[in-house]
C-alpha cells in the first residue's frame, strides 16, 4: 500500500478542518504472558515513510528500521503498558484501554481527533473515532502499531533473559506449542497472565 493511500482517512479529516490527528494501536492482546502495549502517534501531515503499513505485515527488520524514524519525525508520540497483573485484575480489554490512556497522556500536543484501530472505543476525554483494520488504512495508526509492536517485543526479549526456559525471545509470550510445552515442564512464571492459562490448567 502506497504512502499516499495511507493518508486517505486523514485527508478526509483534514478537509473537515481537523488539523491534529492522532493514531492509536496496541500490541500483545493475545499472548499468555507479558504486558499489553499501546502507542499513540501524531505524524506531520503527509509525511512519507516508505513501507509504512500495519506492523504485522512488516518484517522485524523493517519495523526496527521504521521505529526510530517514526520517533524522530512524529510531532508527538507516547508508549504505554498495562502489566500482566493488571490484565488479570481488570481483563484484557480494560487493560488495553489503560495502556492507550497511558500512551495518550504522554502526548505534548492535544489531538483534534484520535483514530483507534478496531471497533471498541472508550471515552478518553478527547474526540475518538474507531477504524476497523486501521493499521492498514491510516498512516498514524500504522505508525502507532509499529511503536507498540517493537516496544513490546523488546520487553519480551528482556524477559527471555530472566526466564530463558520459556522461549519468550521466539514467541513473545504467544501460545505456541513450544510455549505450552515449557509451561508443562516448568509451570507459569510471574509474567504469565493467570486468566489466560485456563486451557493449561484444564489440561492438568
CATH number at residue 88: 3.30.420.10
Give 199's pLDDT tier (boundaries 50, 70, 90).
confident
Is residue 30 included in any domain, yes or no? Answer: yes
Domain count for the chain: 1
- The parent domain of residue 56 ranges over 5-156
Whether pLDDT at 194 is above 50: yes
Whole-model pTM? 0.95
Question: Can you tell me the mean pLDDT for 73-82?
Answer: 98
Phi-psi category of residue 22: left, alpha or beta, with phi > 0 → left and psi -120 to 50 → alpha: beta
pLDDT at 57 over 70: yes
91, part of any domain: yes
Unique residue bearing C-alpha cell 504505554: 80
Looking at the domain assignment, is residue 104 inside a domain?
yes
**85-98 average pLDDT score:** 98
Burial class from Cβ neighbours inside 10 Å (0-12, 13-18, 19+) for residue 204 reads exposed
For residues 73-81, average pLDDT? 98
In a domain? residue 177: no
Amino acid at each position: 500500500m502506497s504512502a499516499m493511500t495511507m493518508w486517505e482517512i486523514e485527508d478526509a479529516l483534514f478537509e473537515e478542518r481537523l488539523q491534529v490527528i492522532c493514531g492509536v494501536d496496541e500490541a500483545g492482546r493475545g499472548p499468555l504472558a507479558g504486558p499489553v502495549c499501546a502507542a499513540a502517534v501524531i505524524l506531520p501531515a503527509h509525511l512519507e515513510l516508505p513501507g509504512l503499513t500495519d506492523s504485522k505485515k512488516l518484517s522485524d527488520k523493517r519495523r526496527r528500521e521504521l521505529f526510530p524514524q517514526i520517533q524522530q519525525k512524529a510531532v508527538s508520540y507516547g508508549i504505554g503498558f498495562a502489566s500482566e497483573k493488571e490484565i488479570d485484575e481488570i481483563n484484557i480489554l480494560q487493560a488495553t484501554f489503560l495502556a492507550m490512556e497511558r500512551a495518550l497522556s504522554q502526548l505534548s500536543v492535544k489531538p483534534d481527533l484520535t483514530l483507534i484501530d478496531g471497533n471498541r472505543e472508550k471515552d478518553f476525554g478527547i474526540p475518538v473515532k474507531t477504524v476497523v483494520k486501521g493499521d492498514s488504512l491510516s498512516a498514524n495508526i500504522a505508525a502507532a502499531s509499529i511503536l507498540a509492536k517493537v516496544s513490546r517485543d523488546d520487553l519480551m526479549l528482556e524477559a527471555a533473559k530472566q526466564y530463558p526456559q520459556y522461549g519468550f525471545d521466539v514467541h513473545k509470550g504467544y501460545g505456541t506449542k513450544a510455549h505450552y510445552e515449557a509451561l508443562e515442564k516448568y509451570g507459569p512464571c510471574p509474567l504469565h497472565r493467570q486468566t489466560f492459562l485456563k486451557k493449561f490448567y484444564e489440561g492438568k
